[in-house]
């Protein structure tokens, strides 16, 4: 399967308008944003766990990173509430689920295969002091990519011109970027060589951003 697999194109997806599709595990549904591959895929997805649902124990051969958007995600490593950023590198194992139900934004098979840095953090706890109405936390940085989280005050502009492509998820509030209005759940991906200038709406915005990673995009090694 290929979905939004041309990384030289600008892509906007309003994920809250997509239908939920069942996964192979009962009680776990998905909204796919981009994908290369079948059930084993380089993928970016919104995943919803019903109460008392879980996946079987598995190894993340290509790594997994995710944000808890609502509810509480759980595995043998702990309980992760909304606002948590988690990186499970290649070779890591877990049995994910949720007693009360949760929704996560998850990316699979997008790691440096030598990365073994497993961690989680509450994104808001990492925020620096605002600059020109934008407070930003650096969640992860290596020689392939930079991952950040920002709070944008109403009417203020978030600008990013990092090399290697830019990907943004609106976690709360709204932004307008190049004429597109992205509300909660809005997802934007711009290719190498393009920049982002996003103006927050009247309620401000909370956004997750990854840069530098698109030149490394490729199918999973299976």
| Topology, domain 123-216 | Jelly Rolls (2.60.120)
Q: Please name the residue ranges forming H helices in the chain.
A: none
Torsion 220-28-115-121 (CA) sign:
positive
Cα–Cα distance for residue pair 160/209, rounded to 1 Å: 9
CATH homologous superfamily for the domain 18-121: Jelly Rolls (2.60.120.10)
Dihedral class, residue 118 (left if φ above 0, else alpha if ψ from -120 to 50, else beta): beta
**Can you give the pLDDT at residue 201?**
98
* Domain ranges for the chain: 18-121, 123-216
Q: Which CA distances in Å does 21 have to 13, 59, 66, 102, 129?
A: 16, 23, 19, 16, 40
* Tens digit of each residue's pLDDT (9 = 90 or more) over 79-134: 999 999 999 999 998 889 899 999 999 999 999 989 999 999 999 999 999 999 99
pTM: 0.96
Fold match, 18-121 / 123-216: yes
User: What is residue 15's DSSP assignment?
Assistant: G
191-217 per-position pLDDT tens digit: 999 999 999 999 999 999 999 999 998
């Amino acid at each position: 399967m290929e979905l939004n697999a041309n990384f030289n194109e600008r892509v906007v997806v309003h994920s809250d308008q997509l239908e939920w599709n069942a996964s192979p595990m009962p009680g776990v549904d998905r909204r796919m944003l981009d994908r290369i591959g079948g059930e084993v895929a380089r993928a970016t997805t919104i995943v919803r766990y019903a109460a008392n649902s879980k996946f079987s124990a598995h190894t993340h051969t290509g790594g997994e990173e995710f944000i808890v958007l609502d509810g509480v995600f759980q595995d043998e490593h702990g309980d992760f509430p909304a606002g948590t950023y988690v990186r499970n590198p290649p070779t890591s194992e877990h049995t994910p689920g949720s007693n009360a139900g949760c929704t996560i934004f998850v990316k699979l098979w997008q790691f440096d295969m030598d990365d073994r840095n497993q961690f989680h953090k509450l994104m808001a706890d990492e925020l620096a002091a605002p600059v020109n109405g934008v407070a930003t936390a650096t969640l992860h940085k290596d020689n392939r990519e930079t991952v950040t989280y920002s709070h944008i005050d109403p009417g203020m502009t978030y600008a990013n011109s990092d090399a290697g492509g830019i990907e943004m998820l609106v976690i709360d509030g709204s932004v307008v970027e190049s004429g597109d209005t992205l509300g909660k759940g809005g997802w934007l991906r711009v290719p190498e060589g393009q920049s982002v200038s996003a103006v927050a709406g009247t309620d401000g915005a909370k956004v997750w951003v990854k840069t530098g990673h698109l030149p490394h995009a490729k199918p999973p090694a299976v």
